Chains A and B, each alone.
Chain A
């Protein structure tokens, strides 16, 4: 039953935008192919006016002509969902890059559309329903082992009626394209269920019982984040910062150490080299929590800055759709998008070509609502079977000139639950991670006692005030009490907030260790030290700082760790004792 072909003709070309004249019905956001010889250039309808439609082309448009035929598919832009997504490296439209490399060599060819999943590979399917059971969208009918995970095979999300299971295969090896079940709706219509299905990327998956409030911490093992500005499972956060401030490094360490099941890395319009580091290293790095290579819990979606710009616009949707899919299995998924500004710029380019009325800095007027809608797809949900799953989204923002007063940063800040603002001053001073502890915020609860956090933050603020004042009146003009507050805030910064991303131990601090060390820090910050003079105070804090930094490099739950702690405590006690007798 082949559908009648729906063919239009190009009447205008402007960059990655083509205008196509059509005769049959077409629909908004449907996929079409511009037929350039043998090549089929994937495009998407983004505006329809009378008998002309404007399409964004996901490839370079070089070589197209007025008159070139365009074939409308009738389908929206979709991704394939099924076992085999993990460990993959996809472009923004879910083409597998390693397979393209095998087929085409060094360069990315135009107009190649490959399956995202290996259609032939066999999986060990184990059914969990029987004939006669009632099912609907998102219900599990069985599972296959996918690396570390039990990958649930689900009723496709678009089958939104109630169905009964007519047939189900027995345990055994099947490929994703094999039919493993047949289900029947109330009118008696039968649907074949394969181990994979397609889902339109621009539509969020809602096959769950209800959405819940995100409250539980997602432990990133970055102290500054977990303690002061935590992220919650199912929450959202953003990392704005000028170039070179450390956004990508921060996401890279998060992708390694975060305590979640699955990490999706969406490299959106950034450097290819950074993706290469991840895709070359992750297969080699062992995840200490599972003993398996990190790659086994990772999917990379990569539309780097030299790849076509329209595909960049959709790449974030490709990524979040896959994240939602794994969430539906009751897993905690973290999506890291670097950088959402490139996505916003892609929208701006497209909007400009459509000659829409521009808003601030030429971004389209709908920029904010698009950003909001994207982050809205994060969330903690309760599934039909009572289990919980979550998608957490963390996006970097690259503001022009490093100035946060710009549309993308501002639009993002309105919708996210936590703000990790990177500061140029901190990165220049090599204080990494360069998250500004004075400006940043989070609406999620920390696993550390709120009163203690308030105390520590108060010292940071006061310390900063003293620092500012000292720049004017000099050290001589500062009272010793103020000076001690300044030293305390610097101490807190150096030994707790700063973290060495390249040291094996210091790079990741588990929750228990954070609680333990933070308690000690609070003791120091609350101590009423009495020093002879400023030199003495400075010397003491310098020594203490050095000892605590050494402590950070010692593995948790070792004798060495305890010994170092004792040494540090002794030093603090001593200064307290001596000073009292002075």
Chain B
């Protein structure tokens, strides 16, 4: 029987300190306050003093409140019964269903041996040309949507998850606004996907610390299903909220910040989560799609910056479109060679011309004379933005490639495209 401690020495921010013995590093405890129970996790041990971060936050905790150590680190129940359920950041039911206590698994366990990974090879089709054609999503990829706030990133996330042919979806929400939470719930329900979805939702009105556990819970469950051979999609939104919660704890613990107040281990902490994306040699896969909102549309802000160094590319969402230039799928070359023979050529060719269009646009705005070629480019650029880039476009890869040829033919003569002659002969629209 674990001892109960009822003398809290210090309460600073969301961190409390008690004197206790025989406590494990990262062990969980239960703090009983006058308004309910909260989980807390050991984050530092020093002689007989134990520091814990309290998931429900430090507000209202009394020095006389009880702290009971549970003797184990964070765990989550794992079974088929999780499907269709919604939990909080502490792993408690948020819907009206029962708590899952069977088959507890460790959260944030060991990492995968690189020798047991395989090179990813399957394209995930999203029917979004800016992804499928220009930056293909690949099974087991870890890739965030970089976005300023106000953009429809959650809509995009939900849409990709729904259109992707995966076995199941695990949604981790960190600091979600309540209406965003409802949006996800309704969209998944309408899309008929709720029954193959598990949600761990921390909303903006929940205590900050509780959001810290969400990625770990979601990924632990997702990984376990992947090990059983499932192709799992894990959605994490918004990882900037996660990073901010870490920053808050770090400051409370008086850690020396490295960059704009963020702790020095921000990279390692984010990487530990993102690196769980995996294609197992002989089992299923885990693909991670995240949202990273960029304060002030600044890619060099520590959160997007560190994320970019970790993930396998990013989709850069701006003005309601996936921008071709800031976006990159680092795994696309694994899958765009064998999709259709014109895939790579269309991908490179259309972007190069679009880049020329951008230059022309700039020249135009500076008042330089427009040549005949410039006018062609402007026509092309507008068509490209309307018929390819717009998020309303929803067509399969092959259709999108065909459309690419149509746009080119509408604006240019064959030679002007710079594409290889054999491809032109085969794919150039006939009329």
Q: Report if A and B associate in a common complex.
A: yes
Nearest-neighbor residue (CB-CB) of A307 within chain B: B111
Q: Are B256 and A108 in contact, CB atoms less than 8 angstroms apart?
A: no
Name the interface size band of chain B.
35 or more
Q: Which of A92-139 contact B (CB under 8 A)?
A: 97-98, 100-101, 104-110
Q: Total interface residues on A, using CB and 8 Å?
A: 66
**Closest CB of chain B to A106's CB: distance in Å?**
5
Nearest-neighbor residue (CB-CB) of B308 within chain A: A243
Q: Which of B311-350 contact A (CB under 8 A)?
A: 312-313, 325, 328, 330-331, 333, 348
Q: Which of A233-286 contact B (CB under 8 A)?
A: 242-244, 269, 271-273, 275-277, 279-281
* Complex contacts, A276 vs chain B, CB 8 Å: 114, 117-119
User: Residue A143 at the B interface, CB < 8 A?
Assistant: no
* Whole-angstrom CA separation of A374 from B222 in the bound complex: 40
* Complex contacts, B300 vs chain A, CB 8 Å: 400-403
Tell which of A42-50, A58-66, A564-572 binds the partner.
A58-66
**Closest CB of chain B to A78's CB: distance in Å?**
23
Q: Are B310 and A271 in contact, CB atoms less than 8 angstroms apart?
A: yes
Q: Are A106 and B275 in contact, CB atoms less than 8 angstroms apart?
A: no
Taking a contact as CB atoms closer than 8 A, the residue among B264, B283, B330, B352 that contacts A362 in the complex is: B264
Q: Which of A167-203 contact B (CB under 8 A)?
A: none
* Complex contacts, A14 vs chain B, CB 8 Å: 44-46
User: Residue B430 at the A interface, CB < 8 A?
Assistant: no
* Complex contacts, B45 vs chain A, CB 8 Å: 12-14, 65-66
Q: Are A66 and B259 in contact, CB atoms less than 8 angstroms apart?
A: no
User: Residue B305 at the A interface, CB < 8 A?
Assistant: yes
* Whole-angstrom CA separation of A19 from B46 in the bound complex: 9
User: Residue A302 at the B interface, CB < 8 A?
Assistant: yes
Q: Are A65 and B275 in contact, CB atoms less than 8 angstroms apart?
A: no
* Whole-angstrom CA separation of A363 from B258 in the bound complex: 8
User: Residue A295 at the B interface, CB < 8 A?
Assistant: no
Q: Are B114 and A275 in contact, CB atoms less than 8 angstroms apart?
A: yes
User: Residue B354 at the A interface, CB < 8 A?
Assistant: no
Nearest-neighbor residue (CB-CB) of B306 within chain A: A400
* Complex contacts, A269 vs chain B, CB 8 Å: 267-268, 271
* Complex contacts, A61 vs chain B, CB 8 Å: 25-26
Nearest-neighbor residue (CB-CB) of A360 within chain B: B258
Taking a contact as CB atoms closer than 8 A, the residue among A66, A273, A400 that contacts B48 in the complex is: A66
Nearest-neighbor residue (CB-CB) of B120 within chain A: A273
Q: Are A66 and B110 in contact, CB atoms less than 8 angstroms apart?
A: no
* Complex contacts, A64 vs chain B, CB 8 Å: 24-25
Nearest-neighbor residue (CB-CB) of B42 within chain A: A13
* Complex contacts, A66 vs chain B, CB 8 Å: 21, 23, 45, 47-48
Taking a contact as CB atoms closer than 8 A, the residue among B120, B140, B271, B355 that contacts A305 in the complex is: B271
* Complex contacts, B35 vs chain A, CB 8 Å: none
Q: Are B258 and A348 in contact, CB atoms less than 8 angstroms apart?
A: yes
Q: Are A243 and B275 in contact, CB atoms less than 8 angstroms apart?
A: no
Q: Are B305 and A401 in contact, CB atoms less than 8 angstroms apart?
A: yes
Q: Are B265 and A349 in contact, CB atoms less than 8 angstroms apart?
A: yes
Q: Are B369 and A476 in contact, CB atoms less than 8 angstroms apart?
A: yes
**Closest CB of chain A to B275's CB: distance in Å?**
4
Q: Are A106 and B280 in contact, CB atoms less than 8 angstroms apart?
A: yes
Q: Are B112 and A106 in contact, CB atoms less than 8 angstroms apart?
A: yes
* Complex contacts, A362 vs chain B, CB 8 Å: 256-259, 264
Identify the interface centre among B44, B115, B271, B330: most chain A CB within 10 Å of its CB: B115
* Whole-angstrom CA separation of A279 from B117 in the bound complex: 10
* Whole-angstrom CA separation of A15 from B283 in the bound complex: 32
**Closest CB of chain B to A118's CB: distance in Å?**
16
* Complex contacts, A242 vs chain B, CB 8 Å: 308
Q: Are B114 and A97 in contact, CB atoms less than 8 angstroms apart?
A: yes
Q: Which residues does B use to contact A, with CB under 8 Å?
A: 21-26, 44-48, 73, 108-120, 140, 227, 255-259, 263-265, 267-268, 271-272, 275-276, 278, 280, 283, 300, 302, 305-306, 308-310, 312-313, 325, 328, 330-331, 333, 348, 352, 355, 363, 366, 368-369
8 closest residue pairs by CB, A with B: A401-B300, A305-B271, A306-B275, A243-B308, A362-B258, A306-B111, A101-B115, A12-B46
Q: Which residues does A use to contact B, with CB under 8 Å?
A: 11-15, 19, 60-67, 89, 97-98, 100-101, 104-110, 242-244, 269, 271-273, 275-277, 279-281, 302, 304-307, 309, 342, 345, 348-349, 352, 358, 361-363, 398, 400-403, 428-430, 474-476, 502
Would you give 8 A-B contacts (Cβ < 8 Å), ordered by A? Answer: A12-B46, A12-B47, A61-B25, A61-B26, A65-B45, A67-B21, A110-B110, A302-B114
* A97-B113, A362-B259 given; 13 more Cβ-contact pairs under 8 Å: A14-B46, A64-B25, A67-B21, A101-B115, A104-B113, A107-B111, A244-B328, A304-B114, A306-B272, A342-B267, A348-B258, A400-B305, A400-B306
